[in-house]
């Protein structure tokens, strides 16, 4: 769906619901961090709404996305704010290095087909004690992406199934909880989509 996200990039931040969602997610992540500092990588950053909310809590931030247009929007904000410790990188999977203290993603993992591979990559990328944060949709009936003909991801995700994948990838502590609800109009009717925030820590 990279072409879809490229086309959405210039108007992504005009939706106040996306700003609110990122702000509440950042609050949830900060509450689960033992102390500020270290390196953060946000995977599927879009225009950087989550990573830029968290930027002042980290010494270095890498914003990674498959969409060049999304990253261009993020870059404009980074330059305007003169955030010299924030970098952008175009990629379709987690990089292998440098080691990170936190990896975060918001509304991205349901687009990733190989979930076990994602948890293995995240575990390899994190430094000892590093934390993985996954914020995403609970299982839904498929209506969320019904209008996207090229959507090939998951109709939401079961956080308990993800927790099992995380443990299989050697994460030591895994927990998850509901923390936010997206309101979206589907087929003319209002729908509610609850989100979970999962945290997994490398021993
Ligand atoms: C629903 S948007 C969420 C954007 C941002 N996290 C937010 O909450 O505003 C999903 C983002 O994930 C990116 N994405 C999806 N699959 C990806 C992949 N395999 N690698 C990198 N980025 C990906 C898309 O380009 C898009 O920017």
Residue ranges per domain, the chain? 2-202
User: Which atom of ligand 1 is nearest the CA belonging to 49?
Assistant: 9
- Residue 4: per-residue pLDDT: 93
DSSP 32-85: H-SSS-SEEEEET-TTTHHHHHHGGG-SEEEEEES-HHHHHHHHHHHHHTT-TT
Distance 44 CA to ligand 1 centre (A): 3
- CB of 50 shorter than 6 A to ligand 1: yes
- CA-closest residue to ligand 1 atom 14: 44
pLDDT tens profile 87-117 = 999 999 999 999 999 999 999 999 999 999 9
User: Which atom of ligand 1 is nearest the CA belonging to 21?
Assistant: 8
Distance 125 CA to ligand 1 centre (A): 19
- Residue 63: per-residue pLDDT: 98
pLDDT tens profile 151-192 = 999 999 999 999 999 999 999 999 999 999 999 998 889 999
CATH: 3.30.420.40, 3.90.420.10, 3.90.1200.10, 3.40.50.150. Which one for 2-202?
3.40.50.150
What is the spatial distance between Cα 202 and Cα 68, in angstroms, rounded to a whole number?
31
User: Average pLDDT of 46-64?
Assistant: 98
What is the spatial distance between Cα 30 and Cα 118, in angstroms, rounded to a whole number?
22
pLDDT tens profile 9-21 = 999 999 999 999 9
């Amino acid at each position: 769906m990279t072409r879809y996200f490229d086309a959405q990039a210039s108007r992504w931040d005009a939706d106040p619901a996306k700003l609110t969602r990122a702000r509440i997610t950042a609050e949830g992540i900060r509450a689960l961090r033992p102390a500020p500092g270290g390196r953060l990588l946000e995977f599927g950053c879009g225009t950087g709404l989550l990573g830029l909310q968290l930027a002042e809590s980290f010494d270095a931030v890498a914003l990674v996305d498959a969409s060049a247009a999304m990253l261009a929007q993020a870059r404009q904000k980074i330059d305007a704010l003169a955030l010299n410790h924030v970098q952008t990188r175009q990629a379709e999977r987690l990089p292998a290095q440098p080691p990170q203290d936190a990896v975060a993603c918001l509304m991205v993992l349901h687009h990733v087909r190989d979930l076990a591979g994602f948890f293995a990559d995240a575990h390899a990328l994190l430094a000892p004690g590093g934390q993985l944060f996954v914020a995403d949709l609970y299982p839904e009936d498929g209506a969320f992406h019904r209008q996207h003909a090229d959507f090939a991801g998951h109709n939401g995700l079961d956080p308990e199934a993800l927790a099992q994948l995380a443990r299989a990838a050697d994460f030591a502590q895994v927990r998850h909880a509901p923390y936010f609800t997206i309101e979206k109009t589907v087929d003319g009717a209002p729908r509610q989509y609850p989100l979970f925030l999962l945290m997994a820590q490398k021993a």
